[in-house]
Amino acid sequence: MKLRYTLGFILATAFLFSCQPKQDQPVSTENTTEQTDAFDYLSEQFADIKILRYKVPGFEQLTLQQKKYVYFLAQAGLSGRDIMYDQNYRHNLKIRRALENIYTNFEGDKSTTDWENFEIYLKRIWFANGIHHHYANDKFVPEFSKDYLNSLIKATNTDLQGEALDVIFNEKDTKKVNLNPEKGLIKGSAINFYGQDVTAEDVDAYYSSMKVDKNQPIEKGLNTKLVKENGTLKEKVWKSGGMYGASIDQIIVWLEKAKEVAENEAQAKGLELLIAYYRTGELKTWDKYNIVWAKATEGDIDYINGFIEVYNDPKGYKGSYETVVQIKDFEMSKKMAALANNAQWFEDNSPLDPSHKKKNVVGVSYKTVNVAAEAGDASPSTPIGINLPNNNWIREQHGSKSVSLGNIIHAYSNAGSTGRLKEFAFDEEEVKCEEEYGQLADKLHTALHEVIGHASGQLNPGVGTPKETMKNYASTLEEARADLVGLYYLPDAKLVEIGISPDAKLIGKAAFDGYIRNGLMTQLIRLNLGDDIEEAHMRNRQLVAAWAMEKGSADNVVEKVSRDGKTYFKINDYEKLRDLFGELLKEIQRIKSEGDFEAGKALVETYGVKVDQEIHKEVLERNRQFKSAPYSGFINPVLVAQKGENGDITDIVVEQPESFASQMLQYANDFTTLPNEN
C-alpha cells in the first residue's frame, strides 16, 4: 500500500527494436552533470507536469559492497520498466517506441507548434508509462493532427499503423481504469490485465471458484493476465518462460548479483525467494518471500520489487510492476522508531470497536529512507510512503514494513511555493500555521498513515479479504481508513510524549486545515470541469472531508465561507472535528471487518465521487493565476559503475541526468526487454 500525496497542497503540485542489455552495463552516463551542493530541484515543466530531481543523502558513506547492492537492485528494477507500459495498455510499447524513433531521427523543422506539441505528447507518455494520464486515467488528447503525425512517420521511416495509430486520435479506450460499474469495470477500462473478451462477470466467477487456504490465502491473480482461449478462461503467468519472461529473466540476472553482495543472510534469503518466485510464478513462494522480507529489518539498504499494488485493476486483483531502492535515513529513522515502538498503544486507544482491534500488533517496522532508484509504477510519479506486504494474514502474523521516502518529500518541499496556499487558505493565521508546521505535520501524517493506519484493525472471523468483499471500493476505503488513523492521532499529546511532535495542538491544526482545504477544494485542479473523481486517493480525501463537514453541520464544525466572491472552508471546532474523524474511522473499520459492501459503496458514492461543480469551476478560475503544474514527478539520479583494469567495479557514483528526455531515451536504449506485443 502506498501514499502518493501528503496533506498539504505542496505535493498536490506533485507515478523500436528489442535488444538485451549487457550484464554489467550501467545506465548510460551521456549528458549528465555532477551532483553539487547548489542543487536545482526543478528540471522542467510541460502540460500539467513538473519534473523534479532528488538527491541521495548518505550514498557516499556506504561501503563499496553496499553501493554494489544498491546498484544491482536498481538495474534489476529498470530491467522491468517495459512491463509497466504493457500492463497499462496493450499498444503502449508500440506507440512509445514509434514516437521515440521519430523524436530521435526527425531532421525537419522543429520550430513549429506542431513539433512542440508532439514533444509534449511524448513526454506525457513517458511520465504516465503510457497514453493515459497517470492520475486521472483519461487518454491524452494530442494537440497535433493525424496528418502531421503521419508526415513524421513517413519522414523517419517509422512503423506505426492500424489500431495503434488510430487509437491516438479516436474515442476508443478513453479510460485506463474505470471504476463506474455502469460502464463496465473491465469493458470500460483500457488496462491490459484482461483479454478484450473477458467480462467483469468472468473475473468474478473465475476467482470466486478458485480454492485457497482461508487462513493463509494467496493474493489470487496478482501476477497473471486473465484471457479466454477457445472460450475457456486461462491465466497467462508473469514469470520466466511465461508472459513478460524476457524482462523477468533480466531482472533475475541482476537480483542474482544483488544476492551475492547482500548485507546479511536475511536479505540474501529474501532475494533467493524472490528469484524463485520470478522463475515459477508461484504465489505461495511470493508469500514466503514477503514473510522473510518483512522480517529482514537489519541493514542500511532495502528495496521493493514485484507485482504489488492493485490500484490499476478495477477488480483489485492484478499487481502493477514496481520497484524502489532505498537507503536508511539514519537520524530520522531513530526519531520515527518511537512511533513503531508504540504501535500497540495506538491500537488500544483508537476509537474502533473493541472487537475490531488487534490484541497484538506484530512486527511493525518504520523507517525514513532516501530513495536511490525507482521504476515501474513508482516512477516518474512516486509515492511518498509505502507499507508492505499487502497480504493481510502476513501483516497480522508476521508484521510489515512502513517507510517514508524522506528525500522525495524534501525535494517536493523545496520545489514548491506558497502562492496557492495563500489563495485558498481562509486567513493569515491558517497560512502562518501551515508555513510553520505544515511540513512536519505532513511527515507525521505519512508515518501514522503507513505504520499505524495500514497496520491497524482486524477482520471478523470468516470474512473475506477486502478485495473480495469491498471489490472496486477496497482501495478508496483502505486509504481513507489509514488517513483517518493519522488525522485522529496528529493532535494527540502522545506524539509529544514520545518525542516526535513539538506541539500537538498546532500540528493538529495545520493538518486538519490542510486536509479539509485539499479534500474539498485544491485537489480539484487535477480534474477537468464536469469530471467525477476516479482515483482512489482523491476519492478518499473528498470522502473524509465531505462526510465530516456534513455530519458536523449542526454544530458548524466546518463552515463554508464566502468572502469577496471567493469560497473558503473554515474549521470552527478542531476537537469536534477530531471526534468526527474518529467516528468515521470506526465505521469504515466496521465495514472492512464485517465485509459490508453496500455500506462501503454508499460511503464512496455519496461522498467521494461527485464534485460540487460550482466549487470546481471557482477553483479552476482561481488557479489560473499560477503557472506551477498540479502534478510532479522525478527523473532518477544515474548510478554509474566505475571499473578497474580487470573489469571489477571499484566504485559507484551518483550523477544527475541533464533532462527528462535524455533519461527516457537512455532507458529505452539500455532497458528494452519486451516485444511490442505480449
How many C-beta atoms surround the C-beta of residue 188 within 10 A?
18
Could you tell me if residue 97 is inside a domain? no
Q: What are phi and psi of 142, to 5 degrees?
A: -70, 145
Mean pLDDT taken over the chain: 92
Question: Using CA atoms, how far apart are residues 613 and 574, in angstroms rounded to an integer?
Answer: 27
How many structural domains are present in the chain? 1
Q: pLDDT by residue (tens digit) across 610-643?
A: 999 999 999 999 999 988 888 999 999 999 999 9
CA distances from 2 to 308, 522, 603 (A): 10, 21, 22
Contact 295, 266 (CB under 8 A): yes
Tell me if 46 is assigned to some domain: no
**Alpha helices (H) in 185-329, listed in sequence order:** 200-208, 245-260, 265-280, 283-295
Task: Compare 413 and 227 and report the one with higher pLDDT.
Answer: 227
| DSSP per-residue string spanning 336-404 | HHHHHHTHHHHHHTSSS-GGGS-SS---EEEEEEEEEEEEETTSSS--SEEEE---HHHHHHH-EEEEE
Rounded distance between C-alpha atoms, residue 623 and residue 531, angstroms: 17
Cβ(101)–Cβ(93) below 8 Å? no
What pLDDT sits at residue 35? 41
pLDDT reading at 220 higher than 90: yes
CA pseudo-torsion sign 332, 334, 340, 345: negative
Q: How far apart are CA 668 and CA 662, in angstroms?
A: 10
Q: How many CB atoms lie within 10 A of CB 149?
A: 22
Contacts of the segment 333-337: beta carbons below 8 A, 24+ positions apart: 333/366, 333/367, 333/368, 333/369, 335/368, 335/499, 335/500, 336/366, 336/367, 336/368, 336/404, 336/447, 336/451, 336/500, 337/366
Reading phi first (left if > 0) and then psi (alpha if -120 to 50, else beta), residue 500 is in alpha
Say yes or no to pLDDT of 12 above 80.
no
Report the distance separating Cα 663 and Cα 678, nearest Å. Answer: 25
Tell me, yes or no, whether 492 lies in a domain: yes
Q: What is the mean pLDDT of residues 417-430?
A: 90
pLDDT bracket for residue 404 (50, 70, 90): confident
213-247 per-residue burial string, b: 16 or more CB within 10 A, e: under 16? eeeebbbbbbbbbbbeeeeebebbbbbbebbbbbb
**pLDDT tens figures, 642-668:** 999 999 999 999 999 999 999 999 999
Which of 319, 321, 376 minimizes the C-alpha distance to 636?
376
pLDDT class of 3 with cuts at 50, 70, 90: low
> What CA–CA distance (Å, rounded) separates 484 from 489?
9
CATH number of the domain that residue 623 is part of: 3.30.540.30
Residue 361 has pLDDT above 90, yes or no: no
Q: Which residue has the higher pLDDT, 287 or 20?
A: 287
What confidence score (pLDDT) does residue 23 get? Answer: 28
Sign for the CA dihedral angle at 381, 386, 388, 392 comes to negative
Q: What is the pLDDT of residues 315-348, one digit of tens each?
A: 999 999 999 999 998 777 777 788 888 999 999 9
In a domain, 585, yes or no: yes
Report the DSSP beta bridge partners of residue 326.
302, 371
Q: Is residue 674 included in any domain, yes or no?
A: no
Residue 485 maps to a domain: yes
Q: Residue 388: what pLDDT?
A: 93
- Tens digit of pLDDT for each residue in 256-304? 999 999 999 999 999 999 999 999 999 999 999 999 999 999 999 999 9
Total-model pTM: 0.78
List phi, psi (to 5°) of 548: -65, -40
Beta strand 385-388 with 364-376 is unpaired
Q: What share of the chain is helix, strand, coil (3-state, %, to 5)?
A: 50, 15, 35
CA 170, 171, 174 angle in degrees (round to 5)? 120
Separation of alpha carbons 556 and 510, rounded Å? 19
The predicted structure's pLDDT at residue 363: 61
Of 317, 124, 524, nearest to 132 (Cα)?
124
Bond preceding residue 466 cis, omega within 30 of 0:
no
Distance CA 65, CA 300 (A): 12
Show the CA angle centred on residue 244, arms to residues 241 and 245, nearest 5°.
25
- Decide: 365 and 402 in contact? Cβ < 8 Å: yes
β-strand pairing of 638-643 with 649-657:
antiparallel
The cell for 160 is 506505426
Q: Which of 43, 65, 70 is nearest to 54 (CA)?
A: 43
Q: Is the pLDDT of residue 26 over 60?
A: no
Domain that holds residue 550: 2-14+242-631
What does DSSP assign to residue 525?
G
Can you give the pLDDT at residue 414?
A: 81
Q: Is residue 92 part of a domain?
A: no
Asked whether residue 367 is assigned to any structural domain, the reply reads: yes
- The amino acid sitting at 270 is G
- pLDDT of 352: 97
